[in-house]
Structure 1
Amino acid sequence: MGEHFGPYELLDKIGEGGMAEVWKARATGAAGFQRILVVKKILPMFAKNKAFIDMLVAEAKLCSALHHPNIVPIFDLGVIDGVYYVTMEHVDGVDLLQVLQRAARRQMRVPTEVALFVAGEVARGLAYAHAAVDHEGRPLNIIHRDVSPANVMVGTRGEVKLTDFGVARADLEIETRRGAASIVRHDGLKGKLSYMSPELVSGAEIDHRSDIFAVGTLIYEMLTLKRLFMGKSELQTMANVRKARITRRIERHDYIPRPVQDIIRTALARDPAGRYQSAADLYDAIQDYLFEARLRIGPSAVARFIVDLFPERAPRVAAPRTAVPGRRRGDTVEDMPVPGSFDEDLRTERTGRPSLVDDELGEEPSGLKQPPPAVAREEPADAVTVETEAEPTPEDPVDELLVAIEREMSAQRKAAARRKQRPTPGAEETDSDDDDDDDDDDDVPGPFGTDFRVKGNRDDDEFFGPVTLNTFERLLNHRAISEDEHVSIDGGAWVRIAQSQVRQLSPALFALPDRPVYSGPLRPAWLPRLFHQLSAAGATGMLQLSRGWVRKELHYRDGALLHIQSNIKGELLATIALDLGIVTGEQVNAALNTAKSLGLPVGEGLISVGAIDESRLGGVLREQQRRRFLEIFGWREGAFAFYDGVSMPPVVRPEALDVLTMLGPAVRAHYRLDVLRGIFAPHEARVVKLRPAPLMRMGSLGLSPEETAAIEAFEHGWTVARAIERVADTEDELHLLRAMFLMLALDVMAFADPAPRGRL
């Protein structure tokens, strides 16, 4: 049985973002009544923020008014023990992002009729939402604003449902959402960048036709398995969306029927006036093509495609399988992976097997002190790695840095026009639709130049800018631009950033060696051991962890973990200070303004406005580092890379984290019984024993009394299975497995026999 949350039994954790945890749950009632649903638990840090709760209530009210077979309904909104939650329908299936990733991995094209059916069902749901009225008959004028693959559910029965109206806008809720601006940071940029419309990215007024543009993007990506607008950085993605140059991209895929190409072009018209004027019009265009092409498609055919793609989700009693429509045996994606595709190869060159995490539950034993030379490993020709989270999830807002950049760029364009700006290298021009409605902000000359323009490494890449020296430096430090992109300073020639005079702006960025000393996939089975081995080996350098769009950089010196950098919104210093109740929202806004104007870190901005003193700031910084560390243990996939000798950025205050004492709480918080059972399943027949002379005492591990008592089982030389059989219940089993997992990871215990083949 799972843990209980009020009247709900939490069964499986579906996911977690910056604002909420999402659980598959069961509700029970009289006479054995049961219902499977989804419980969305709001994280505690937002529970005391009235503006955010008002926004949550507005979203629930909005969705409760929508009753349509293509929209996931909301059942309930409430609060239990101070935790706000929303319950909604559970769709037995996968989201469209998972479909595209699996199809790319298997190089299996989505049949045209399946893609059009999915898009048509999304359009039907949008048409209903766009025309919805409240209980008094007033038009709600809903705009979803986040129509993206992650928000489209495709069920194993072929149903298609649109979910997550968390960033939707309705006319009757405008004031409530304005009040929540301090949470979302910017009302116009809170969706996924590459699925926005040109007017939404530009900050212009939007209407329902913005959602139609997003559906056009979905159609293209389903048919090509390529990311239409995804750039190498957020800035490049925004530029791609704003330009909306799609003709050549569509024409590359000549297997797309010409009428379908026309549907995509119309939906993706840069000017809203050139698009379908309603979602119903888009749906009709799709149905007209399917009829004229004599393509029969319905939920049952979509269900067969989903089961063919995800055989593990097939019903226990299923009808005989038939061929998926439009698919031939051996039908594959038409070309090799290219940057921006769902099957983009993100592998790094590895040092053979990832020897850094050579634990009892992972790879073969190997030393850390003398790593093997970095040699590229030849991958199988059919090996494909899929980026699992190319962009923030709906609960993770876009970083406010992008908003500040866009504002500053707009102001700089106005200032440049007044100054009789010099011609841009290559005679390139910016879009004419950029809105220059921000306050003037003239450049202040600096030692490196007055204005900076940034673009990719191809001659035809669009540039962004001009931006000031301060903004350019922030872009570097926040990894919004990379050293491989190109910069033009004061109208000069385009040069690679890593080779330009700006290298000294961010020494840590350019200090990375060509390849890491250790790298590999990140697995829960040996995550604690990864930290233990770095400490035990006295490592100095940077451990880079990545999971989709999330990135963390952990800086070590002589085995001590001194600082963690993170790009997760909820782990910003100001967010944590608010959560702790140390500062108010007004103080944070004042500190951010002061920090920006004076070029200070946010912490010093808080001090400068009197919101916090030096000692309390130190406490907040320690809590920030603790949370950044503990969050890593919730990852179930990702990658790691260790760069030896990389220096820590000079802007942080190093303070060693007590990793050993944090491992226990981390495992208790994130390693549920089902996860631990999965880790130990291949090792049930193995004998576990205490090491005769461990490097540390058991008392230093911070084990609970129950965990310490469970370990006594291994004084008898029992196997894992024997020890599990002797526990009284699942709670004792959980104590046993947690303790055993920690002690194996930290070399206090060991298996007495070699590991079986094919283990995790």
Structure 2
Amino acid sequence: MRISRPPPPPPAPPPHSRFGPYTLADRIAVGGMAEVFRAHEPRAVGDPRVVVVKRMLPALASEPGARAMFEEEARLGGLVEHDNVVRVLGFGDEAGQPYLALEYVPGLDLWRLARWLTRQGRTLGTELAVFVTRELLAGLHAVHETHDRDARPLGLVHRDVSPSNVLLSVHGDVKLGDFGIAQALLRESYPQATLTERAKGKLGYLAPEQVRGLPADRRADVFAAAVIAAELLMGRPLFAGGSELAVLLAIRDGDLRAFHEHGAGLPEGLRAAVVAALAADPDARTATAAILRDALAPYETGPVSALRAQLAGLVGEAHGSRKPSGAYQVAVRGPKTAPPGDDDADAPATRDAPELAYLVRTSDGRTEGPLSYAKLVEAIATRRFGLTDAIALQGGAFAPLSSHPDLVRHLPTSSLSDRTARQEPVREPDRAWSLEDGSIVGVMTSVVLARETGLLLCEQGGVRKEIYLSNGVPEFVTSNLATELLGEFLVARGVISRGELDMALAVMPRFEGRLGDTLTALGLVEPVHLFRQIAAQVQEKLLELFTWPSGRATLWRGVARPQSGFPLGLDPWRIVMDGIDRRLAQGMDDPLAAHRGKWVLASGPNDLEVARLPLAVRSAYRRAAQPLPIADLDRSLSDPTGRDARAGRRAIALLLAIGALSVHDGPGAS
């Protein structure tokens, strides 16, 4: 379903406007979900109290589900009472707009302080970094351990732990802010809200399971807190990259090289505690914020009062260089992507660009064009043009395509290899298969079992798919079908419109020819959503291969995945089983229909190969240790819930494809 674009936020009200019981002093943030004000709340005695008022934007306030989630945020936030968590002071509805009243924290957030220290050429130092982290963890544990009024645990997860949500007061307090429990639900149910409130600077604090789109619990918050700890100790980002997608890849793969390199001088126990909390597998990760806080305790040796005073001095010094606004200015808005030394830089990528016209001179002397950049990229990706052709831009001189890095990256990867160029390869492939009669299942299973590394080239007619394997895992897939290009895939799925794709392709040269980076920079697709869509696109390229009725596959060992490739870490067995399921759904290779009335017996693979098979397939193999009717084997493997009618047939089809089941007539057959 297409994600609708939200209307622009309303203009800021005049200073000192009334909103319910509050006087709005100034608007300090506005995003896709809410606008945030510094406000004054009258009191019966004494001066008005400074508070933060966060009110829902009218576009979302009209959505009953969104209102309910906002109210839930207020209810849940009111249950958390801890010195290291920003307090929710109240909740109400004024003229149809629900709002929250929150504690005002005079100072700034950790993101601003870290940037200020970088510009000053300073760091927090180990002990103060540990102090800030342990204070954060105390608040985080309080969130996780929150109970309702009947003392029942709620199992809350913050889901948005990042430096911009760690508020530092001029008194040396550390508070976890922007209570994001309902905010995360809002983003999931109303994704249009994120199109104007993108999590710039926050991607680096997602846990690997969040990047993959898997369920997240409190351990995802522990991971985020550990990222903050590592960055404070190093004085630099933990997960860095040339693009947002590169950051997500580094998180997914648990790439901690920066910490191992720049944290080498830290005490061994401190390094070990942080690394344990950064485990990519949640089951191997430090389980709670309290456990991590205790593990860091030996490295906070100074008096708490002295550390708090030291932090207060830094905050006051850094805050004094900015206009007074309070820590909530960034805590709600989120940090911007800005060059070092420029706190307020926020230059969004322009969506306006002149249309560039290209001419192509092919190796046989023909001249084609003019072509738009989008059409040129498509022609290169589908092998219409290649390295031996020359390109000219808007009347300029022709130059080899190889001199245009932004275009070279769209060449089918094998075009860049001596082994698989458009001409015949220079040597014979290491293995070759015919794809007649559905043997693609056996091919894919064999390369997974053998943990092959290299290029698996699949061809049928004029269609060509290149699968780059690492230890049997498909890491990167290219295709010469225009319909399988990323942009076309996103349009077909309703992620972006045709017009938005054309706009992105027009300005793509500004982003080194990377469509994914272009789409995220223009704010057309949220980075994590795009990351998952790319994984789905590659998976679909592979699954389509399982429907081929014929063709040829060749394996070229030792061909490395190109550096420009997007390694997705797909589960190879899931691909194989989903591919079998797709064949079965189309009436292909049904083992019960092909062997009706027959008996089967396990045979073939050795124990090591069987141990590598998926659990359901291993179960089928064990059940066939003694001869039995194929229909009985299918029934024994059926899904007890009845929701998966093909569970048994998938397992049997895979075993037959690799020769692990023999078929015979059974006892009594004449």
Q: TM-score, normalised by structure 1?
A: 0.44
Between structure 1 and structure 2, the one with the greater Rg is 2
Q: TM-score, normalised by structure 2?
A: 0.49
